[in-house]
Amino acid sequence: MYFLLGEHLVPVQRIVPQTVAVARAAVQQLLAGPTAAESAGASRLVSAIPSGSRLLDIALANGIATVDLSGQFESGGGSASMFARLAQVVYTVTAFPSITGVRFRLDGQPVTTFSSEGIVLTGPSVRTDYRDWLAPISMDGPAWGSTVSSPVRISGVANVFEAQFQAEVTTASGTVLATRNVTASCGTGCWGTFSVKVPYSVASAQAGWVTVFDLSARDGSRENALSYRVLLTP
């Protein structure tokens, strides 16, 4: 599921009992909100979805998921919060390759205008509708808080100058274990995909970070940095 790190969407992996209703399980985990561990520290995760929101039903047809939520889902908050909570649901549900878009219902009723902010939802919502909630370099994998092994595969989408940036693996204390140059499929005004394998070496399992960033053309300083907590294993 997708929570917010600052103002950006990040994927979080959860382990649940085996089920064929994976989209339902993902939305239920999303509505439960971040765990205590995910909410702790300077890089804490948050959710724009109001506490008490419930999943009433979810149905799949022709690649579109219809998600029926309780009315609490549209309570409180301004326009940023409303867009963020819609984005969280859309990115969570469309993480499954068989689902390309999401239609919303509230208390069983189709939603064409969401909340008092007047957000128009005339058709299925798709990921590109909410790209403003992605970091300029956005990692889809590994998920925040996941366990990784060497080489760790880092993938996602990016929109940065000349499509060039760097990926880095560090220990919890900040010791750099590995760095790789990365080139996305498009950049400077367009979103491109990327995928790179970064080998590193640790003697035993330990907390660490996976970070992506680009370098300022002006002074070489880091910018657009995004870091995920992970568990590094050999």
Determine the Cα–Cα distance for residues 118 and 112; give it in Å rounded to an integer.
Answer: 9
Q: What is the secondary structure of 176-226 as a DSSP string?
A: EEEEEEEE-SS-SSS-EEEEEEE----SS-EEEEEEEEEE-TTT--EEEEE
Domain with CATH 2.60.40.2550 in the chain: 137-233
User: What pLDDT score was predicted for residue 187?
Assistant: 82
User: What pLDDT score was predicted for residue 19?
Assistant: 86
- The pLDDT profile of the chain, 234 residues, written as one tens digit per residue, is 999 999 999 999 988 889 888 999 999 999 999 999 899 877 899 999 999 999 999 999 999 999 999 999 999 889 999 999 999 999 999 999 999 999 999 999 999 999 888 899 989 999 999 999 999 999 999 999 999 999 999 999 999 999 999 999 999 999 999 999 999 999 888 999 999 999 999 999 999 999 999 998 888 899 999 999 999 999
User: What pLDDT score was predicted for residue 127?
Assistant: 96
The domain made up of 137-233 has a fold known as Immunoglobulin-like (2.60.40)
pTM for the model stands at 0.93
